[in-house]
Chain A
Amino acid sequence: MTRAPRGKAYGIKSAPYAFLVPATVLFLLFFALPIGYAVYLSFRRTEVEGLGLGKGAREEIWAGLANYTDALSDPELLHGALRILGYGAIVVPVMLGLALLFALLLDTDGLRVRGFSRLAIFLPYAIPGVVAALMWGFLYLPDVSPFLYLLDAAGLPQPDLLDGGPLYLSLANIAVWGGTGFNMIVIYTSLRAIPAEIFEAARLDGCSQLQIALRVKIPMVAPSLILTFFFSIIATLQVFSEPTTLKPLTNSLSTTWSPLMKVYQDAFVNNDIHAAAAQAVVIALVTLTLSFGFLKAANSRTKQGDSR
């Protein structure tokens, strides 16, 4: 850090920049540079001559937009996007709905086991995604699943939890189980920040607990709902470890089930980092557009609400 003597004009002027240096350096080194390199890679490709064996048979050349046209015209990437759309349509409403419900319940007056319940709901979030997916995989597999065993014992039909429609529910369940706690904490924290006198006023006006929750609490935590929704969209678009972990257990999950799995497959299995880089850039742009588009829409609505 620069130690400029007090009173010297240039010292004061340069101080903000000096404070910015660490963050800027970290940003450039670990954020801008890798992204820039990925973008650079996405415009290149390797060109092989003949058999491709021996020295100099492979060279890296400019590909222009070829990787991007490939990525955008690849039906598998589009199908992957549609699959996670279906997955997200289950995960996001269920997870946020539960998170809001739990947060409101925890915030109810006179609750006895608040600390314990909060911890119990939050705990699954602390379990790594791969471990959770592996554990749920065991619970879903026929022959080792206790659920299916109970259904069997009761003489009920046993659905294949790793195929067709139930597969989406099974995958969504893992995300909901793991993510509800985190979102609940975010919403709960903002509930606790609401001044108590507002509730008092509502109660004096004759509001029931339910009415307070619906009419006062939910509108007041809208910003955190927007935030959690924003996080959930990003997490959905980036779903990778759960389907990847469940893939070996079933014939129904392909190696390119989600867009990120396709990127992984191209980069680390098929060894085509250029195609993978282009797909990654496309996914990043879509994620940015969707999430910031949503934020902007949400913000403009809030502002309208404010000016009313």
Chain B
Amino acid sequence: MQYRTLAASTAAVIAATTLLSGCGSPDGGGDEPAASGPASLTYWAWAPGLDKVADIWNKGPGKEAGITVTVKKQASGDDLVTKIITAAKAGKAPDLVQAEYQALPTLVSNDVLADISEEAGDAEGEFADGIWQQATLGSDALYALPQDSGPLMFYYRQDLFEQYGLTVPTTWDEFAGTARALKEKAPDKDLTTFSSNDSGLFAGLAQQAGAKWWTTDGDKWKVAIDDPATRKVADFWGGLVKEGAIDNQPMYTPAWNKALDTGKQIAWVSAVWAPGTLTTAAPATKGKWAMAPLPQWTAGENVTGSWGGSSTAVTGDSRNKKAAATFAKWLNTDPTALAALVKESGVYPAATAAQTGGALAKAPDYFSNQPAFYTEAARIAQGTAPAAWGPNVNVAYSAFKDNFAAAAKNKADFGPALTAMQDATVADLKKQGFGVSQ
């Protein structure tokens, strides 16, 4: 999640190009001997350092249980979903996969994931309801164990806010006011930018406003991307771009890094993993940033959305489903594993108990000026609105990128772009044959 740098996307492009030329890699995990006795599991994941966490398992609890886990590093991103589906079609899917929450319905719909409610369903109490629901898709089944989450927050340059006499916005109205006030005082600076190149942020902002993009109605999907809540969010950001109160250039570019590092942009709406991104994007301004709750639509509330977050799923191809589920449960609920995940992989654990204390007792290095960083983050995370994903999130996300990019570029209304996103999503569902209710 937090590794959405240009380099990572380039790596993904390179990986994808290799994929294009030679589909179906031979490193699937279907060759183990059948279940009984010691099990050896393969795990496709992209989070860095996961192999080290798996080593702790292999040397400790895994050794006792006779279950060895081998992590095979993947490039994160949309094409991993396709890779897993393709591998599953060939009956060669790995035992375990790291999957973003919004990819779960797609994977379930392609019959890739196993229902592990029997093996790991008792872990429900360890997670916040909104997160757990994303792993069950609101059904009795359990398709994955939540690993990390990305509650949205507001990051700002403390020193520059002081310099320009700005107050930290607590509502979106105040946010717009802050953006305008900054433009008046320093016309060449921007509070932030509206970026069209990461649909996840927009999805999170819509969740905060109460949007539920995909819901089921009997045996039909209901798509509500162009609903009043999302429209409110789209109009808000579109308005700011149109009047020139904020920038309209994409994030994660060298220019964006520089803007953050030199104070040309002085705030960023981002998730709990932002310290990692800021460390590489804006190294010179370490210690000058601060984190506050996301501005609210109604003053005094504590609601936020999620940007990113992933889970550990067991595939239907696995010959050792039980062993795989045992490992997945250990990885995402055991205190030793969670501490290692925080330390080695830098994730913000989804398990509620691990969100304070332990490895998260101390603020991230970049935010050493805000010692209560994670206490505050845990309080914000409690207000995480549930997310509702459907079987073609990728299609909606591509439609977002293309339509909102054009709207942001032309400083046009975002309304038509949102309608286009809704239409593209519904049209794709219908084309595939899904039941769609209007």
Contacts and interface: CB of A to CB of B under 8 A. Distances in A.
Contacts of B197: 247-248
Nearest to B194: A251
A198 B220 CA distance: 79
A39 interface: no
B435 A51 contact: yes
Contacts of A141: 253-255
B82 interface: yes
Contacts of B134: none
B434 A48 contact: yes
Interface string A132-170: 001001100111100000000000000000010000000
A50 B409 contact: no
Given A50-B435, A251-B405, A57 B109 contact: yes
Given A46-B432, A241-B17, A270-B395, A248 B82 contact: no
B151 to A, nearest CB: 25
A268 B249 contact: no
A251 B410 CA distance: 9
A245 B392 contact: no
A236 B133 CA distance: 47
Interface string A232-244: 0000000011001
Interface in A255-269: 255-256, 264-265, 267-269
A137 B257 CA distance: 14
A203 to B, nearest CB: 50
B: contact size bracket: 35 or more
Nearest to B6: A248
B78 A130 contact: no
Nearest to B424: A270
A271 B85 contact: yes
B109 A250 contact: no
A268 B435 contact: no
Interface in B1-56: 6, 9-10, 13-14, 16-17, 19-20
Interface of A: 46-58, 130, 134, 137-138, 141-144, 163, 240-241, 244-245, 247-252, 254-256, 264-265, 267-272
Interface of B: 6, 9-10, 13-14, 16-17, 19-20, 78-79, 81-82, 85, 105-106, 108-111, 137, 139, 196-197, 216, 219-221, 248-250, 252-255, 258-259, 264, 391-392, 394-395, 398, 401-402, 405-406, 408-409, 428, 432-435
The 10 A-B residue pairs with the shortest CB-CB distance in the complex, in nearest-first order = A50-B219, A251-B409, A251-B405, A143-B255, A48-B433, A268-B79, A52-B109, A254-B402, A141-B255, A269-B78
